[in-house]
Amino acid sequence: MLIYLSQWRLLQNAFTQNRLSHAYLLSGMPGIGKTDFAREFSALLLCDNKTSCGKCRGCQLMRAETHPDFLFIEPQEKTHSIKIDQIRELSEKLSRTAQCGGYQVVIISPADAMPVQAANALLKTLEEPTGKVIFFLIDHQQHYLPTTIVSRCQKLFFHSDEKIKSFLENDNVELRDQLIQHLDLLVKRKTNALTPVTQWQKNMETVLQLLLLICIDISRIQQQVSPQYLLSATHEKKLILIASTINSVPLQEFMNAILEKLAFYSRGINLNQQLCLEDIFIAWERMCDR
């Protein structure tokens, strides 16, 4: 998965060091390969040689889609939603020992297709993980995921380079540049968090989307990904300075806050644009002070 090299490295390093989280939330727009990514990493976890060798019994079972410890949950065809009975059946299966003696791996795609009742049923399993169970929840950012679910997952963010380039070319480069400049000045404590908010509030959704892309670049730098994979490579020096100033954990929390506000937009919920942007930039300013 070269296109998602930083995400793969993060998981692979955690796997090598035996510190995988029990649940991961893979967030991004539909159709950019999040589920395929989760399948490929699941194959690595379930490989007898832990290398995705393609030759062992585990790899053969994954290729045939018959591995007893790989569980894939998707919406039922007629309803387009994941039912509570599917989650209950999943929980019952996970209560048993892994048949092949290693990991049990679950992909729920998309997780934001779960109604509240199904999400609450899943929450019980996430709160009390048993054995070597790894969840990959695929979030298309089209519906709201309960905060109780999101808070129990480690977040990984995905994007499509082609769609992002199109987005940036659509008169958004100048706005992106202004946002990076503002974030850089806040890190250097040379401006007030709220100074430019008024001029941006009419484009709030675009501002939030651009901030998320900027944060993805900062996260990639912190993970020592090659500069060629940066989305805003022309601002590499400023982004490196920002990345060296803020901690990765609050950065993820900041990205989660942006995603939550974008989720409201996707559901057609109107937000007070000025207050929303003020909250975001004040949160960034506080993050720089940690």
Which pLDDT tens digit goes with each residue over 144-195?
788 889 888 988 888 766 667 677 776 788 889 999 999 999 888 888 877 7
Q: What is the average pLDDT across 50-57?
A: 86
If asked whether residues 128 and 177 sit together in one domain, one would say no
Our count of domains for the chain comes to 2
Strand (E) or helix (H) holding 97: none
**Residue 23 tokens, joined:** 């649940």
Nearest to 39, CA basis, from 141, 108, 91: 108
If asked whether residues 13 and 130 sit together in one domain, one would say yes
If asked whether residues 13 and 150 sit together in one domain, one would say yes
pLDDT digits (tens, 9 = 90+) for 207-242: 888 998 898 888 878 877 778 778 888 899 999 999
pLDDT at 251 over 50: yes
pLDDT at 198 over 90: no
If asked whether residues 107 and 36 sit together in one domain, one would say yes
Confidence bin at 261 (pLDDT 50/70/90): confident
Q: How far is CA 161 from CA 28, 32, 139, 165, 232, in A?
A: 12, 9, 18, 6, 11
If asked whether residues 151 and 22 sit together in one domain, one would say yes
| Average pLDDT of the residues of the chain | 85
If asked whether residues 15 and 56 sit together in one domain, one would say yes
Highest mean pLDDT of the ranges 44-58, 164-178, 248-262: 44-58
If asked whether residues 121 and 255 sit together in one domain, one would say no
Last residue of a domain, one of 141, 157, 173: 157
CATH of the domain at 186: 1.20.272
If asked whether residues 137 and 257 sit together in one domain, one would say no
If asked whether residues 10 and 105 sit together in one domain, one would say yes
Q: What is the average pLDDT across 19-46?
A: 90
Last residue of a domain, one of 122, 157, 192: 157
Q: Which amino acid is at 56?
A: C
Q: What is the pLDDT of residue 113?
A: 87
Confidence bin at 196 (pLDDT 50/70/90): confident
If asked whether residues 43 and 148 sit together in one domain, one would say yes
Task: Spell out the SS3 assignment of 137-158.
Answer: EEECCCCCCCHHHHCCCEEEEC
If asked whether residues 213 and 143 sit together in one domain, one would say no
If asked whether residues 194 and 273 sit together in one domain, one would say yes
Q: Residue 247's domain spans which residues?
A: 161-289
pLDDT digits (tens, 9 = 90+) for 82-114: 999 999 999 999 988 889 989 999 999 999 889
Peptide bond into 196 cis (omega under 30): no
Q: What is the pLDDT of residue 136?
A: 97
Confidence bin at 2 (pLDDT 50/70/90): very low
Last residue of a domain, one of 157, 177, 202: 157
CATH of the domain at 98: 3.40.50.300
